[in-house]
Structure formats: structure tokens, C-alpha cells
Amino acid sequence: MTIGIGLGLSRFPFDAARDYWQWVDACELGHVDSIWQTDRLVTADPMLECLATMAALAGHTEKIRFGMNVASIALRDPLLTARQCATIDYLSNGRLLPAFGLGSAFSRDYSATGVPTKRRGKRADEALELVRRLWHEEEVSFAGEFFQYDRVSISPRPANERIPLWIGGSSEVAMKRTARFGTGWLGGIDTPEQAGVVVKGIQQALSETGRQIDADHYGASFLFRFGSDQDDIVASTTRAFSGRLKASPDRYLVAGNAADIIARIREFIDAGCQKFVLLPMASGTADVMSQTRRFIEEILPEFAPGNGQQAG
């Protein structure tokens, strides 16, 4: 079994820009599997733009992989996106982990900019097909509803000849989209129960498309904190999720000790997930660094090679 556990960020939680690089260095030195940045185009909260962040990580790091969780492909031009990803992957010697979806239902990216949501799924499907083809084909022509290309090519193409194309989303349409285009699935902040439904749904859809996705290419995301559900940041996060979900958020996040966090990871493993993006509930550089150190020291060894699991 190949288990890979990475760390992700949504809001920018650090006191200063230089502190972000301190955190990145700690992740790389601590053998964190990967670093992920949530995508929001419209936000009042400080949040790094995901593709620009990937480019910066390519230049700053040497070994760690990095990805976007997940980039809103229906809001992005596929030619520009394919070129950006190819450039980042080329300059990082094949360490980019691209992941795409329609965008979070919690964001205002569509409504705030007047972009219609009607047919956005079809637009995303065309964009995903074009991105995939541009990465692998010498020349691409395409006549679609939203995009028309005439002998388009990009160079350099990705350094990784098997560059992944992970798809996000948990709807039935997202499952079918993953089965059509994806090399993997990366869930948003969700429950183990829902992740299990999606994994089975994708596997069923794959039987219809005749494609395959490796067993270790199903991923999950959840919020965690070494601490208590009474901690201020956990309480505020819980209130925010309760308002959005109209239900208890307990299965979407974990606040407790290492055993509690490991137990939640194992629940997702039982549901069919082997890749993880864990997002620390923390604010301020000292708090984020403390949570990261404990993650590296208390969580990663549980899934290290030789301990019954293999880190991916």
C-alpha cells in the first residue's frame, strides 16, 4: 500500500511572507509528501494564487512535490493553463501535481465576476481534454462549443511524461469526469463516508470508459489540529462549517492528539483513499510551525516505509 500524506494551505496563515518559506523548508526537510495550495480567485482573506505559488515552489525547493487543491479549470484558459503547468513541471524536473475542478461552492469566483455557471461542466470537460492533449501531443486541433484550436502546440512540454491529471469534486458528474479524463481523484474537505461513495462511483464509471486509475491515486483532504475542539480557531472553523453545511462538521475535521488524527486517516484508507492533503487549523507563524512539527514527528512516522505502510 502506497500512502502519501501532504500538507495544504487555504488562507495565508503566516505573519510575514518570509515565514512561508520557513514553513516550506520545514516540510521539505521533514519529508512531507507534498505541499498544496487551495485555489480562490476572489477572496477578501489573504490567499496565495495557486499557479503562481507552484512556480515559486519550483524555484525554492529541490525534492518535494506540490499541487493545487484544486484549480478552477472552468474559469481558466486551457492553453495558458497547460503552458503554465508544463513550464512549472519542466523547471521543477517533474514535481508538479496538477489537480482541477469546477471550483468550490463556497467561493464567489463565479457570482462576483458575472461568469455564468450554466454549462460550466461542459466548458471544464473541453478544457481538461485540451490540457491533457497539449501536454502529450505534438499538435492539437479542436472544434468545441467553447474552444476552437487550429494546430496548437506548446514547448517545452512537461518533464514528467506521465504528469498526473487529478480531478476534484464529489458529484456524480465529477465521478464521470474523473473516469473520462483523470489519472487520479482528490477530494475536497469531506467525510470518509462520502469519500468512499466517490471512490466506488469512479471505479464504476471507469468500467464504462474502459480506463484505469491506480489504486493509490485516490486522495482525501481534511482539517486537523493538535489540540482541543475548544481552541478558538477550531471553534470558529466549526461555526463556519456548521453554517455552510447545515449539519455537524465533526466528520470534516479532527482536533485532538496524534492518535485521533491517525484514526481519521485510517478511516479514509478504509474508504479507498491513499493520498492525503491535511490542512492545519492554525493562525500565525508560531502556531503553524508548531502544528507542522508535530505532524512531521507524530503522524508521518506512522505511515513511513517499514512500518506496514509505504510513503508515496
Residue range 2-311, CATH number: 3.20.20.30
In contact, 209 and 179? CB cutoff 8 Å: yes
H helical segments located in the chain: 17-29, 50-60, 78-91, 120-136, 172-181, 192-209, 232-245, 258-270, 285-294
**pLDDT 10s digit of each residue in the chain, 312 long?**
689 999 999 999 999 999 999 999 999 999 999 999 999 889 889 999 999 999 999 999 999 999 999 999 999 999 999 999 999 999 999 999 999 998 765 568 878 888 878 888 999 999 999 999 999 999 999 999 999 999 999 999 999 999 999 999 999 999 999 999 999 999 999 999 999 999 999 999 999 999 999 999 999 999 999 999 999 999 999 998 888 777 788 999 999 999 999 999 999 999 999 999 999 999 999 999 999 999 999 999 999 876 644 433
In contact, 75 and 46? CB cutoff 8 Å: no
The pLDDT of residue 245: 78
How far is Cα 213 from Cα 179, in angstroms, rounded to an integer? 8
The pLDDT of residue 75: 92
Radius of gyration of the chain, Cα coordinates, nearest whole angstrom = 19
Q: What pTM was computed for the model?
A: 0.93
Q: Kindly give, in sequence order, each residue whose CB lies less than 8 Å from that of residue 233, ignoring residues fewer than 6 positions away.
A: 225, 281, 282, 283, 287
The pLDDT of residue 311: 39
Return the closest-CA partner of residue 274 out of 185, 180, 171. 185
The helix/strand/coil state of 203 is helix
The pLDDT of residue 159: 98
The pLDDT of residue 306: 64
The pLDDT of residue 264: 98
Query: Cell 501536454 appears where?
Result: 135
The pLDDT of residue 138: 97
The pLDDT of residue 305: 74
